[in-house]
Amino acid sequence: MRAPYVLRLGVRGDDRPLSGTGRAAFGARYERSPRPLTYVAASAGIVLPSTSRALRTHPDGTLHRDHLAVSGAASFKQVLLDQTAAWGSAEIVFPFANEDDDLAERDPPATFRFAAGSLFQIDDRFHASAGASFTRTNRDRIAGGIVPRSDQFRIDLLPEVGVALHRQIDVAIGAALPVSGKNTPQSYLATATARVRF
């Protein structure tokens, strides 16, 4: 289960709501090790619509309703040395059309995300990770035609540091820092993650 909270930094004189919940998701993940020091995983889930109207409002004031979506992902991790591993992942999020989409004959676009990086074990308790991701959202289509400038992509750097509080619990602080993009706002993301192993 993942439930993000989004803080929107407004400008002076802007009285719109500044924050709200983002898109919560829940699903299942299966991981196995086909050979020593190699780990592969697959996951699938449901992505819920955002509950914050402000986060779905177009600059011209039009409210674009968020979409229920399904997601699927695959990932791997390969231990290279005693203290270093390489990792990578690929994910697709496929949204369902809302009633207003059906009335306008609009097909909501799918989003693809690819990421890769390295994981470093600093000592028995502390670890760090550095990576990069590429996210692309396909073009909107209305009545069979393509909406100009509706496709999006962005490239982010993904630093993270973490600490093991217990053999079964660790926490991590990370970020997504945009370095390039097209037709998408330059937004910065900070994350705090707690992992519990059973």
Query: What's the pLDDT at 124?
Result: 87
Q: Which of 47-56, 97-106, 149-158 is predicted most confidently?
A: 149-158
Mean pLDDT across 115-119: 97
Of residues 18 and 88, which shows the higher confidence score?
88
Are 20 and 55 contacting, i.e. CB atoms less than 8 angstroms apart? Answer: yes
User: Would the pLDDT of 61 be above 80?
Assistant: no
Burial of 47 (0-12, 13-18, 19+ CB in 10 A): buried
Confidence of residue 10 (pLDDT cuts 50, 70, 90): low
- At 96, list the tokens: 């369902």
Give the residue carrying structure tokens 């011209």.
Answer: 60
- Pick the closest to residue 121 from 166, 84, 87 (CA basis): 84
What length does the chain have?
198
Mean pLDDT across 106-131: 93
- Pick the closest to residue 111 from 98, 94, 90, 96 (CA basis): 94
CATH of domain 29-51+68-196: 2.40.160
Terminal C-alpha separation, the chain: 15
Query: What's the pLDDT at 184?
Result: 81
Burial of 178 (0-12, 13-18, 19+ CB in 10 A): middle
> What does the mean pLDDT of the chain come to?
86
Domain residue extents for the chain = 29-51+68-196
Of residues 49 and 171, which shows the higher confidence score?
171
Confidence of residue 14 (pLDDT cuts 50, 70, 90): low
Mean pLDDT across 9-37: 78
Of residues 98 and 115, which shows the higher confidence score?
115
User: Would the pLDDT of 152 be above 70?
Assistant: yes
Provide, for the chain, the percentages of residues in helix, strand and coil under a 3-state DSSP scheme, each rounded to the nearest 5.
Answer: 5, 60, 35
Residue ranges in 59-150 assigned as alpha helix (H): 99-103
